[in-house]
Amino acid sequence: MSDRDMMPGDGRPRGGAGLSRRRVLQGGLAALPALLGARILAGEGPAGAGTTARAAEPPTPPAHDPTAHDWAFVMDTTTCIGCGRCVEACKLENDVPAEPETNRTWVELHVLGRDGSVAVTSPDGGIGSFPAGEAAIPAEAVANAYFVPRTCMQCENPPCTWVCPVSATYVTPDGVVLVDEGRCIGCGYCLEACPYGARYMVPAGEQTPKGTAGVVDKCTFCYHRISRGKLPACAEVCPVNARIFGDRNDPASAVSVALTERRVRAMKPSLGTRPRVFYTGLEGEVE
Amino acid sequence: MPDPAPAHDPMPDPAPAHDPVPAHDPLPALAADASLDRPAGALDSAPAPHSAPAPDSAQVRLAGARRVLRRLRPTTRRGALRLGIAGAGLVALLGVGAVGIAIAVPWAYGEYGFHPERNAQSWAALTPRYADSTLCQRCHTAEFSPWQAAPHAVVTCESCHGPLGEHAATAPVPATDANVVVGALPGTIAEPRPDLCVVCHERIAGRPAAFPQVTLTEHYGGATCRACHDPHTATAATPPDISHPLAKLPACVVCHAPAGLKPLPAGHVESPDAVCRSCHRAAGPGD
């Protein structure tokens, strides 16, 4: 038996081994810059590249422990007056495009007729309030009417994160569903999956607050504000405290008190999405 | 090893005649076990006619592995060298792979699922545009104090005045206040829209009945809201009573015309008497 016979593994592609190894090494060396570039583009580009307007100030993120909070919202339809200040504040705070159909938050008027009919209107998302004297149902036939502030439910079991083919949308430990705008490919699956219509595609010519175009944007609970101890902009400007925001880990917070003392319900609870946004005074038939 | 009962054929037999109660046998699984166990146990004594070929093939595999190992064992110095080179190459390949993974995958990958945590940090790092009302009192004491005591205290400054974070950060402040960043460019607060009160206080369907609201066509529409109402204190100016008898006098606007005996004060328009007297009470009992 010769050496070659004794060592079949080593000698197998005897003639081509050197060439193959060289090719492999060359390929690897060529791939490394590509990998680095891909990492810069995908992982680190958006955070660092902050292409436009809103540079972070201070440049480092605020000291914020995402595991220490359990954010939740209670929307009080019994006090909401439908003024739409929240919608305007959200657009100003978060660079939400001015188009009336692109909203991170909006207000709906739900009019329930005595005959069981339901009319839901939201002209321009409710920004600048609702027109007077324009009732979808005659006043004498109205059983109930109230305003419903809408936003992303920040589901604990969100369908949008399931369907994202590139895992660009995710849930933070404190319970906010965010979009990694550097990874989002703008396919719009999450828009279809969301049972609450809470997401929008950034229109052509517009950008997210981070200066990204062609991606999906959504309510972040004003993540930059709540991680600094501030209220979301919509809750900050609400003139009747219809938007009660807070930390469920703090039993003294307004939202904990509201969840304990008020009768609340989630929207579309049968879907099992486990929303973090709750409603008082909401009637199930208008979902 | 349970001894198979003579009544039960230990071998599975499709013929129902051999199994008296196949459907109601209390221990069918046991019987099946027995049938499976039997060939393995029977190997010790006598080879069963249907014994599985598994032990043989295992022995064959073991022998094959021994042969491969024997063949791999280098018998010459050159062979040992080759084996060593091959091993080192394998280690080097794994090392390159590890480095490649380290380069291609962000450090925080997986902390929040399949995405880098720094994306959430970059959302948190955006600069808030809305400050909060506590900042305003540093300078605007004349408005702040009455506002705090008024029914409008629940309406934050920025609900009407818009986002003022930049203004608060850059406007000159009293030098004693070291907590506020003093910038070179004083911000300017835009005057609130003349119709801003209407956004909340116009009577529209769906607005809670307890909320103060007016039907605009029935309210004095000749002036801006702020001609009579102070938004900070949320009080209306008390209109002066009519200081003269009205009997035998023509319409108000005859004398209170712009070029008349006593022109209308600023903020008033010519209106029917009923509109004037909706605010101005007549002096005399006979009127």
Query: Across A122-126, A128-132, B49-53, which has the greatest mean pLDDT?
Result: A122-126
Interchain CB contact of B112 with A (< 8 Å): yes
Residue of A nearest to B93 (CA): A25
Tell me the β-bridge partners of A147: A109
Across the interface, whether the CB atoms of A227 and B216 are under 8 A apart is answered no
Q: What is the pLDDT of residues A143-190, one digit of tens each?
A: 899 999 999 999 999 999 989 988 899 999 899 999 999 889 999 999
Interchain CB contact of B206 with A (< 8 Å): yes
A contacts of B155 (beta carbons < 8 Å):
239
Across the interface, whether the CB atoms of B103 and A39 are under 8 A apart is answered yes
CA B38 to chain centre: 63
End-to-end CA distance of chain B: 118
The radius of gyration of chain B's CA atoms, rounded to the nearest angstrom, is 48
User: Is residue B106 pLDDT above 90, yes or no?
Assistant: no
User: Is residue B113 pLDDT above 80, yes or no?
Assistant: no
Is the residue at B226 inside a domain?
Answer: no
How confident is the model at residue A55, as a pLDDT? 44
Of A184 and B111, the structure prediction assigns the larger pLDDT to: A184
Across the interface, whether the CB atoms of A237 and B128 are under 8 A apart is answered no
Interchain CB contact of B65 with A (< 8 Å): no
ipTM of the complex: 0.78
Facing B71 at nearest CB: one of A6, A39, A161: A6
Reported as a pLDDT band with limits 50, 70 and 90, residue A134 is low
Reported as a pLDDT band with limits 50, 70 and 90, residue B55 is low
Domain count, chain B: 3
Across the interface, whether the CB atoms of B78 and A3 are under 8 A apart is answered yes
- CA–CA distance, A251 with A204 (Å, rounded to integer): 44
Is the residue at B48 inside a domain?
Answer: no
**CATH code that applies to domain A67-99+151-157+216-286:** 3.30.70.20
Q: What is the pLDDT of residues B12-37, one digit of tens each?
A: 444 444 444 444 444 444 444 444 44
- CA–CA distance, A8 with B67 (Å, rounded to integer): 12
Interface test with B, best of A2, A41, A129 (most B CBs within 10 A): A129
Across the interface, whether the CB atoms of A85 and B121 are under 8 A apart is answered no
CB-CB contact of A138 with A112 (8 Å): no
- A241-245 average pLDDT score: 96
How confident is the model at residue B112, as a pLDDT? 57
Q: In angstroms, what CA-CA distances link A104 with A80, A184, A187, A215, B87?
A: 18, 17, 18, 14, 58
β strands within A186-238, DSSP E: 199-201, 216-218
Domain ranges of chain A: 67-99+151-157+216-286
- CA–CA distance, A234 with A242 (Å, rounded to integer): 10
Burial pattern A201-217, b for ≥16 Cβ within 10 A else e, equals: bbeeebbbbbbbeebbb
**Token pair belonging to A169:** 């949308």
Domain of residue B285 covers 241-287
Burial pattern A11-33, b for ≥16 Cβ within 10 A else e, equals: eeeeeeeeeeeeeeeeeeeeeee
A contacts of B126 (beta carbons < 8 Å):
54, 56, 209-210, 223-224
Is the residue at B177 inside a domain?
Answer: yes
Facing A237 at nearest CB: one of B82, B121, B130: B130
A-B CB pairs within 8 A amount to: 200
Select from B156, B111, B150, B148 the least CA-distant residue to B130. Answer: B156
**Token pair belonging to A211:** 């200066």
Is the residue at B109 inside a domain?
Answer: yes
- State the smallest CA–CA distance between residue B83 and chain A in angstroms: 7
Interchain CB contact of B76 with A (< 8 Å): yes
Across the interface, whether the CB atoms of A89 and B158 are under 8 A apart is answered yes
Q: What is the pLDDT of residues A1-29, one digit of tens each?
A: 444 444 444 434 444 445 566 676 666 66
Is the residue at B59 inside a domain?
Answer: no
A contacts of B77 (beta carbons < 8 Å):
none
Q: Give yes or no: residues B137 and B185 share one domain.
A: yes
Handedness of CA A228, A229, A235, A239 (dihedral sign): negative
Of A154 and B176, the structure prediction assigns the larger pLDDT to: A154
Q: In angstroms, what CA-CA distances link A39 with A11, A35, A180?
A: 38, 6, 14
- CA–CA distance, B212 with B216 (Å, rounded to integer): 13
- State the smallest CA–CA distance between residue A179 and chain B in angstroms: 8
- What burial class does residue B50 get, using C-beta atoms within 10 Å of its C-beta: 0-12 exposed, 13-18 middle, 19+ buried? exposed
Residue of A nearest to B118 (CA): A47
How confident is the model at residue A19, as a pLDDT? 57
CB-CB contact of A47 with B122 (8 Å): yes
Interface test with B, best of A81, A108, A207 (most B CBs within 10 A): A81
Lowest mean pLDDT among A170-179, B89-98, B233-242: B233-242
Is the residue at B73 inside a domain?
Answer: no
Is the residue at B232 inside a domain?
Answer: no
Interchain CB contact of B113 with A (< 8 Å): yes
Half-sphere exposure of B61 toward its Cβ, with a 13 Å CA cutoff? 6
Lowest mean pLDDT among A57-71, B129-143, B173-187, B239-253: B173-187
A contacts of B90 (beta carbons < 8 Å):
none
pTM over 0.90: no
- State the smallest CA–CA distance between residue A140 and chain B in angstroms: 12
Q: Give yes or no: residues B138 and B101 share one domain.
A: no
